Structure 1
Amino acid sequence: MQIKNFKIDGTLKELTEHRMRELPLACYETTIHDNIHGYIPLHWHNEFQFVYLVKGEAMFQINEINIKVEKGEGLFINSGCVHMAREENNSGCTYICLNVAPNFVLSQELYTTLVAPYVEATNIPFLHLLPTETWANNILTSLLKINQIIKSCPPFFEIDICVQLAFIWKNLIMNGITLEHEQKEMRKNQRIKQMLNWIHLHYDEKILLDDIAEAGKISRSECCRYFKRMLNTTPLTYVSEYRIQKSLILLQQPDSNVTDVAYQVGFNSTSYFIEKFRKWMNMTPLAYKKLKNH
């Protein structure tokens, strides 16, 4: 199964419930270009995410850091970290993605001492899992096993999954990373989510840089630095790109037209909407509409 249209709230939190009927986890096989946007958009969730690339290569962004991941490699993405992914070099990138609730990887009695400190650490937004490292290769192998267990559902498969999760977590914490908990970093993550939340609630209105900065309770210049560091863009460029994202769904409706969609998502000029759309999607809104309708 693949999620092709990420539903997110104003803070970019993904609204998908990542769970099987029996367990608070979900495993997907994802081909990046099959997503409605052509990439995996910026989002976050409370679950840990483990990724294993089975084909191609991709550029992942986690918080403000970009990391290239190739076939056979993987990632651990920590709870609450904003992330996205784009395919590299038209490689047809496909990956296995396991999302699991942090309080499920180990028993309740062990969560406080062996899991929670990693959730709260500010220096582990992600770990790059390289098969040349024994601990990382063990995690990648167990990830493949969990994917196969879920596909085949043998008797007592829930226990098999729990065994593999415990093994994954043991190898992750054996990596020896020294945990850090910086209040400044926590405030930074909270402020960027506040500003994104404001944009997502008001994207169809006139938006000024002052409005975005006020949402994060910071100055205009600091607001620009936040967006540059964490999203590698400017606040107003992010607004335009988010409007384009919202327009993709509207353009697929049979009775929609380009001008109406432009104004619905907050552009005050059809020509400006077309210019920005072409820059972002490498085609005009009308060409995109015809492609999707076909």
Structure 2
Amino acid sequence: MRMQIILPRVEIHRFYSSFENTAHTHEDQFQITIPIKGTCHFQHEHKYLSLPPGEGIVLMPRDQHSLHIGDGASLVIIRVRQESMYPQGLPSQREPQYRQQFDVKRISRYFGQWTSGMMNRDLDDPLEEEELETRMISDLQELIWSGGLPVSPAMQISHEEHNQHHARVLEYIHANYTEQLNISTLAGLAMQSRYHFIRTFKSLMGVTPYQYVLQLRVREAIRQLQQSDATVTDISFNLGFSSPSQLYRAFAKITGMTPEQYRKTRL
């Protein structure tokens, strides 16, 4: 059996029971291979390695490799693009440790959290997907660099500067919440990495940036349902929802009723 998560900057694959592949390379991705149960028989550039549970290999892009596991074994393979491998402030020319020991319980816990996040996300909204991908990459960076992460610039700015940056982010969101927003732009306004921006925003506002944008859109949808004859479809597209169904889901989650039901209660 195989489970996988495929996002633009990171891929997570988990194999249960027997699996093997032939020698190959990845042009612009690092690969982290971590046996969870049983032995992984690994070949890297014609060198054979036998990896017990928790002993992982970190391959550079274009390294040739192949592997196989037997019945009853379990394996996690993570592939991440070069630009996402390094935490903010860490030199990109620094190479990660080739052979590392990983906590298999921690890896399994992370995988469960990532899978749950993918299953419960809104398939129609790239902003939520970007939030999840950012969290996955941050978790991965912590695993790979084993506490060697640099102090984020976000932790070095003054309290006054932090408030100014946050106010700028909120101003931008309120001016553009009907458009397609992205975490990179918002984090840039906050002068933070993507991960630290999401974490800081949630600690201050009680919700993630994606959830905050949804609240603004639903609040405006309520106003338009009360004060106009616009259809739910027109309202959904005017407010930046990718489809009427996305508005229905967000509206019902926040108000407990559909847009039509809400409009009827206000007639």
Q: Same fold (TM over 0.5)?
A: no
TM-score by length of 1: 0.36
